[in-house]
């Protein structure tokens, strides 16, 4: 019984601590999104998809079966589109072949029979214009207030650059459309893996290498389902500055920006009286960087005095670095306190890496009511409490010893 009561007290305490983080002020909640989750599947139908090395079947046949299974299991509310690359031109003219990408099925509520028929007639044919296909898929999905996902399935690296598909992914991320590209590789080739990883990292997506049909089907289903699970309002695009005086003012919300190597970017956040600032930053490492790097986020006053800092360095991760801060004012003034958030990085590019395009930065800014702090007993009261426990223990020991000797004496008399 005592153990159960202890557990209940612990759970209540944890709930009281974590609830403000999860809920935040009720007045600041965003309205629920009204758009349906949108996904476009982009399939490579280039000549290399003829290879029969997946369960003894050709790569294209495995992909077609996976598509059919995914279409059958598609959630009703999800809007799906299908785009292909290298599917129609069988000639050798590279200029023509590298324009070969088409949308087979527009993004919308799916007619399952139509979708399966469109996939069934595909035959491996031409080149691999991945970069151009990504641009086309982004246009197919359009813009709106919610996250859109592209799922790219390919067995080879782009054979048509420019445009370089990794650079295209960075351009899409920089547009602030909150477009996520997930990549699935059907070949163990290391160059393919590097390119697909770069594309995914640039947009906050994921890379996965499928070795058989079951893995491919399961992974596509997971990504399509994730489009609904992570369906939220898109972050707001913002541009930090190089000093606090000209920094943009951020209210509670999620923001996207770009930060170059070894740069400092400033943002202003008003913190209302009686509220606590809670801010975090994530920097995506979408290209190779040198070792010994880190990310720093600081909250400072307008004149540069540091209030609090958070860092992430040497974590061993290769895709993202994250850090956060919490701060509350000690002033009795009812006016909001203007705090400057400074995001810095100590990243250095490897040789030959693009330095002109900044790396993706996501800022999460919020405020919450201050948790009531119990009054401290003070040093004197603490010492008195310890003295009281000592006296009680000493007295209990004396009484127990006297009772024990008394029982022994009774036994001897008997």
Q: Residue 366: which of 272, 246, 227 has the closest Cα?
A: 272
Is the domain of 274 the same as that of 207?
Answer: no
Determine the pLDDT at residue 165.
Answer: 92
CA dihedral 397, 402, 404, 408 (to 10 degrees): 160
Is the domain of 179 the same as that of 270?
Answer: no
Is the domain of 45 the same as that of 161?
Answer: yes
Q: Who's near 365: CB < 8 A, 6+ residues apart?
A: 250, 251, 252, 253, 254, 255, 267, 269, 277, 278, 279, 341
Is the domain of 61 the same as that of 139?
Answer: yes
Determine the pLDDT at residue 232.
Answer: 64
Determine the pLDDT at residue 128.
Answer: 94
Is the domain of 145 the same as that of 194?
Answer: yes
Is the domain of 209 the same as that of 150?
Answer: yes
In this structure, what CATH number is given to the domain that contains residue 350?
2.60.120.380
How many domains does one find in the chain? 2
The model's pTM: 0.59
Handedness of CA 223, 224, 225, 226 (dihedral sign): positive
Is the domain of 216 the same as that of 265?
Answer: no
Q: Is residue 209 left, alpha or beta, with left meaning phi > 0 and alpha meaning psi from -120 to 50?
A: beta
Is the domain of 62 the same as that of 207?
Answer: yes
| Average pLDDT for runs of 10 along the chain of length 414 | 39 38 40 74 93 88 90 88 93 93 93 90 92 95 83 90 89 76 86 87 82 88 78 78 94 89 94 87 80 87 90 62 82 78 91 83 83 49 70 76 74 64
In this structure, what CATH number is given to the domain that contains residue 210?
3.40.50.410
101-108 vs 79-85, strand pairing mode: antiparallel
**Phi–psi pair at 384, nearest 5 degrees:** -65, -40
| CA–CA dist 413, 386 (Å, integer) | 41
Is the domain of 173 the same as that of 74?
Answer: yes
Residue 279: which domain range?
Answer: 235-369
| CA–CA dist 37, 224 (Å, integer) | 9
Determine the pLDDT at residue 98.
Answer: 94
Determine the pLDDT at residue 35.
Answer: 77
Asked, for residue 16, whether it belongs to a domain, the answer is: no
| CA–CA dist 127, 284 (Å, integer) | 31
């Amino acid at each position: 019984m005592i153990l159960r009561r202890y557990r209940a007290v612990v759970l209540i305490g944890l709930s009281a601590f974590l609830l403000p983080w999860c809920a935040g002020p009720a007045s600041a909640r965003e309205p629920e999104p009204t758009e349906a989750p949108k996904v476009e599947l982009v399939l490579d139908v280039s000549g290399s998809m003829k290879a029969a090395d997946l369960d003894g079947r050709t790569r294209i046949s495995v992909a077609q079966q996976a598509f059919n299974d995914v279409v059958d299991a598609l959630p009703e509310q999800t809007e799906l589109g299908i785009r292909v690359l290298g599917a129609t031109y069988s000639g050798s003219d590279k200029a023509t072949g590298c324009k070969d990408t088409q949308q087979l099925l527009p993004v919308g509520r799916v007619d399952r029979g139509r979708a399966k028929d469109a996939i069934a007639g595909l035959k491996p044919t031409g080149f691999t214009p991945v970069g151009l296909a990504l641009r086309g898929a982004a246009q197919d999905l359009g813009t709106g207030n919610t996250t859109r996902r592209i799922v790219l399935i390919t067995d080879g690296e782009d054979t048509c650059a420019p445009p370089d598909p990794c650079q295209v992914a960075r351009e899409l991320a920089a547009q602030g459309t909150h477009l996520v590209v997930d990549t699935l590789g059907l070949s163990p080739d290391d160059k393919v893996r590097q390119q697909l990883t770069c594309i995914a990292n640039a947009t906050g997506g994921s890379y996965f290498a499928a070795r058989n049909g079951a893995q491919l089907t399961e992974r596509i289903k997971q990504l399509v389902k994730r489009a609904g699970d992570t369906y939220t309002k898109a972050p707001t695009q913002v541009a930090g500055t190089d000093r606090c005086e000209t920094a943009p003012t951020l209210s509670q919300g999620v923001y996207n920006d770009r930060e170059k190597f070894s740069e400092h970017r400033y943002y202003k956040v008003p913190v209302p009286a009686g509220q606590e600032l809670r801010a975090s930053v994530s920097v995506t490492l979408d290209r190779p960087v040198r070792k010994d790097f880190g990310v720093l986020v600081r909250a400072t006053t307008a004149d540069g005095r540091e209030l609090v800092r958070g860092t992430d360095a040497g974590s061993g991760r290769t895709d993202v670095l994250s850090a956060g801060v919490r701060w509350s004012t000690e002033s009795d003034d009812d006016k909001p306190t203007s705090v400057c958030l400074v995001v810095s990085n100590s990243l250095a590019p490897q040789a030959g890496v693009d330095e002109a395009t900044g790396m993706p930065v996501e800022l999460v800014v919020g405020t919450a009511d201050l948790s009531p702090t119990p009054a401290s007993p003070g040093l004197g009261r603490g010492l008195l409490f310890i003295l009281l426990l000592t006296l009680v223990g000493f007295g209990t020991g004396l009484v127990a010893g006297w009772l024990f000797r008394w029982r022994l004496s009774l036994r001897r008399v008997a």
